[in-house]
Structure 1
Amino acid sequence: MNPALLEGLSMGLLLSALVGPVFFTLIQSSLSYGFRYAAVLALGILVSDSIYVVITFFGVKFLADATYFELVLGYVGGLILIGFGISSLLKKKVSRPNSGGLDFPQFKKRSAFFKGFSINGINPFVLLFWISIASIVQIKDTFGTAEVWYYYLGILGTVFSIDLLKAFIAKQLSHLVTPKMMGWLNKAVGLIMIGFGIRMLVFTYLQ
């Protein structure tokens, strides 16, 4: 196997092991709406990561020096996460997860994609991660154009595949989950997301 691809796979596994708001949203979405909804959400996450890859790879020095960009992203991201959390807390009716075998309305697909894209995209820690990855790539003298592609494809492919695996496993366990349990899960996810949002605001303020 190509060494750059192998290194990218290992970095992708490391990123996938991190537990953050995206993880909880992915699991909750799979339980609530089925695997296909969660897969579209994971696609939104992938596109968000891909955009960060392009931005950080071609402008890592500019982004690292422009602290105001990180501050704006931190405040806006924190508020959006808190908004998602409050929305999850206020959700009243919780139905049993669907079978995932039927197609769902187009607006559901768009909302799933946007939810994954935005929750991942507004997290400044994700930006910092990709800045660090771009920095690693820049200092690797042995990396040519092909190796850079292999490295990033290894990371993105691994993260996306494991996200799908998380959603699939959660869906397989959905028959064990009652509507009452899902209601508590929504509240737990809401509190966790609010916690991440507050933490993000505090972290940004203290910078």
Structure 2
Amino acid sequence: MFEDIQAAIPLGFILSFIIGPVFFVLLETSATKGFRAAVSFDLGVILADAIFILTAYFSSFQLLENLSNQPGLFVFGGVILLIYGVTTFFKNDPKENDKKIKISKNYLGLFVKGFLLNFINIGVLVFWLGIIIVVGPSLDNDPKRIVTFFSAMLAAYFVTDIFKILLAKQLKRKLTSKRIVLLKKGLGIILVICGLVLITKGFLPKDKLNIEKEIERIRK
């Protein structure tokens, strides 16, 4: 069991630094809304990951095959990210720069936001499916070892995020109203790019979406 935990911790650390929409929104939330707000958002993200892991564990290759035949799911997730990115970009009117921006700290809302932002990204489910398929055999497909491994992995992921949140929080002192608006516009552009990437995946030929072959190549 201890060896499984040791193997999971580095993966959790690496996972925390995978660049994606959640990564940037987490840092922006910490910098503009504070520590508790960012933790609330992050807990929502982790809940979505936990659901994805359970789905991946009980579905495995069958779900992979279905995902390969349903590229529309990538398009759907991409469109939602695209809309959210555009909304984020235009939400803050530059004319409001001279006014004090009221920062909302609706922790439940931030929790739901983190959950949905992660949940709509079908690529995250594909990622966890790949991890299950690659790691499962090395854990003898033992449910107890798998639970231990992924619990340790998510715990390492969360602890690493806490340090990221604390570092990003230091920027709060330097954030003027104008800089907050610019930060949110930059975040909006990043979300739009992520959405376009997902949409592009949805329009790729099916042979380009053959996830099983990619995972088999990783295993070799």
Give TM-score, length-normalised by structure 1: 0.88
Correspondent of 2:203 among 189, 202, 205: 205
Q: What is the distance in 2 between the residues matched to 1:9 and 1:44?
A: 20
Residues 144 and 115 of structure 1, relative CA distance in 2, 3 Å threshold: same
Q: Percent identity?
A: 28
Q: Do the aligned residues in 2 keep the contact of 1:12 with 1:158 (CA within 8 Å)?
A: yes
1:143 shift after superposition: 5.4
Residues 173 and 96 of structure 1, relative CA distance in 2, 3 Å threshold: farther
1:68 shift after superposition: 5.8
Q: Do the aligned residues in 2 keep the contact of 1:34 with 1:97 (CA within 8 Å)?
A: no
1:48 maps to what in 2? 48
Count of equivalent residues: 200
Correspondences of 1:49-128 after superposition (within 5 Å): 49-67=49-67, 71-92=71-92, 93=96, 95=100, 104=105, 108-128=106-126
1:69 shift after superposition: 7.0
Q: Do the aligned residues in 1 keep the contact of 2:82 with 2:192 (CA within 8 Å)?
A: yes
1:80 shift after superposition: 1.1
Report SS of the residue matched to 1:135: helix
Q: Do the aligned residues in 1 keep the contact of 2:75 with 2:201 (CA within 8 Å)?
A: no
Report SS of the residue matched to 1:140: helix
Give TM-score, length-normalised by structure 2: 0.83
1:189 maps to what in 2? 187
Q: What is the distance in 2 between the residues matched to 1:84 and 1:46?
A: 20
Q: What is the distance in 2 between the residues matched to 1:17 and 1:89?
A: 24
Q: What is the distance in 1 between the residues matched to 2:196 and 2:56?
A: 26
1:78 maps to amino acid = G
Gaps of 5+ in 2: 206-220
1:176 maps to amino acid = K
Asked if 1:180 corresponds to 2:178, the answer is yes
Report the aligned-residue RMSD: 2.1
1:60-86 CA-to-partner distances (Å, cap 9, x unmatched) read 122111036752331121011111111
Gaps of 5+ in 1: none
Residues 70 and 160 of structure 1, relative CA distance in 2, 3 Å threshold: farther
